[in-house]
Amino acid sequence: MKKKVNLETLAKMAGVGVATVDRVLNERGGVSHETTRLVLNAAREAGIRRILPDEHRNPWQIEVILSSNGTYFFQKLAEEFSVLANGLGYRRLTLHRTLISESQPLKLAQHIIASTKMNKRNGFIIFAPNHPAIYQALTACKARGIPVITLASDLPEADRLCHVGINQRQAGRTAGLLMSKMLPTQGDLLMVSGRADLLAHQDRIDGFKAVITKNNPLIRQTDVIVGEDDSEKLRRSLEKSLSQSKNVVGIYNTGDVNTEVSNGLARHKLAGKCLYITHEIYDLTRRLLQENILSFTLDQNAKQHAQLSLEILLRTLETSFQPDIYHDGKVEFKIVTSENID
């Protein structure tokens, strides 16, 4: 070959963009098999003297669907998935991230089904509410041989490959044990829960109540205050409960409303006097622990969620591995106090 062939020339020959040629020749992934074949054929025709990539080695197309609620846990999850994907390399996988509110299960289900029909994805890792449309979407995935991993909040009996996350009921029971061992014999106990259609919050509350009832039957458990993505509504409900009770001795929060809870305790001069247990370690809960307002937080380790789910999904795609529904994806949670903050 007398003349050096540049990317622009190959792009014209293959009928694609320059960026696409670059991705194929440098094995950056994210290009369909047919387009890859066109680029490599053009390179051979032009007589490029270099070892060309294997056109059959396309990266796995994996989509991670997380909540768009902007909480620390999901921001950390998105960050960890990006770091892991970059470490694994474009040649092995292309990671697609989609954020959909858990208050929009139909939109989430339609998104999954649309992707399966177009064969755009090899596998999914999803955080989703417990809704019939989601179950139908996962059944459609299974029918097309597309594995799905549920993340953090499970969908029991759904057609999923496995679940990756902590044992939420066990976490709730642990919070209940900590609370029951430290509370006085009498008083009112408030419980604040995240969305009722997320099994994670249901399991935490059920586990918590079971242990409290068993270990400290004299403690009066008030109705659960449920958060439904409306912080102002939750604030009013919490304010009503705090105002009506004359002896609040404990509060357990399963969701991401620690700002509302800590502000409410401060207004009623209960900060530092009321035993307060919640979930996740981040800037706010770290500060509340240091100021002795928060007693314990149970952290569920976002990094391990991302690591396990990607490892299991890739192993399944590459070796037909069939994981145990819960054992292989179990994440260990950590009890954090003011004395062991990282």
- Per residue in 256-277, pLDDT (tens digit) is 899 999 999 999 999 999 999 9
CA 148, CA 162: separation in Å to the nearest integer?
7
**Does the structure show a pLDDT above 70 at 101?**
yes
Lookup result for tokens 């890792």: 125
pLDDT of residue 27: 67
Highest mean pLDDT among 52-61, 67-76, 170-179, 239-248: 170-179
**Does the structure show a pLDDT above 60 at 33?**
yes
Q: How confident is the model at residue 210 (pLDDT cuts 50, 70, 90)?
A: very high
| CB of 149 closer than 8 Å to CB of 112 | no
Largest Cα separation within the chain, whole Å, is 91
Contacts 24+ apart (CB under 8 A), 81-84: 81/306, 81/310, 84/306, 84/307, 84/310
Lookup result for tokens 């755009």: 120
CA 123, CA 93: separation in Å to the nearest integer?
11
Kindly report the CATH number that applies to the domain delimited by 60-166+302-331: 3.40.50.2300
The ranges assigned to domains in the chain are: 1-58, 60-166+302-331, 168-299
As a whole number, mean pLDDT of residues 313-328 equals 93
pLDDT digits (tens, 9 = 90+) for 137-185: 999 999 999 999 999 999 998 999 999 999 999 999 999 999 999 987 7
Q: How confident is the model at residue 228 (pLDDT cuts 50, 70, 90)?
A: confident
Q: How confident is the model at residue 297 (pLDDT cuts 50, 70, 90)?
A: very high
- Asked if 1-58 and 168-299 have one fold, the answer is no
**Does the structure show a pLDDT above 60 at 55?**
no
As a whole number, mean pLDDT of residues 113-138 equals 92
Q: Are strands 334-336 and 296-299 parallel, antiparallel or unpaired?
A: antiparallel
**Does the structure show a pLDDT above 80 at 229?**
no
As a whole number, mean pLDDT of residues 286-300 equals 97
∠139-304-111 over CA atoms, to 5°? 30
CATH of 1-58, one of 1.10.3720.10, 1.10.260.40, 3.40.50.300, 2.40.50.140: 1.10.260.40
CA 319, CA 231: separation in Å to the nearest integer?
45
pLDDT of residue 323: 97
pLDDT of residue 2: 43
The encoded tokens of residue 38 equal 């066109």
As a whole number, mean pLDDT of residues 18-43 equals 76
Helices (H), 227-330: 231-244, 258-267, 283-290, 302-319
CA 262, CA 21: separation in Å to the nearest integer?
55
Given phi > 0 = left and psi -120 to 50 = alpha, else beta, which region is 30? left
Q: Which residues contact 173 (CB under 8 A, 6 or more apart)?
A: 207, 208, 210, 211
CA 173, CA 238: separation in Å to the nearest integer?
23
**Does the structure show a pLDDT above 80 at 205?**
yes
pLDDT of residue 19: 82
CA 311, CA 81: separation in Å to the nearest integer?
11
**Does the structure show a pLDDT above 70 at 50?**
no
CA 180, CA 303: separation in Å to the nearest integer?
30
Q: How confident is the model at residue 1 (pLDDT cuts 50, 70, 90)?
A: very low
Kindly report the CATH number that applies to the domain delimited by 168-299: 3.40.50.2300
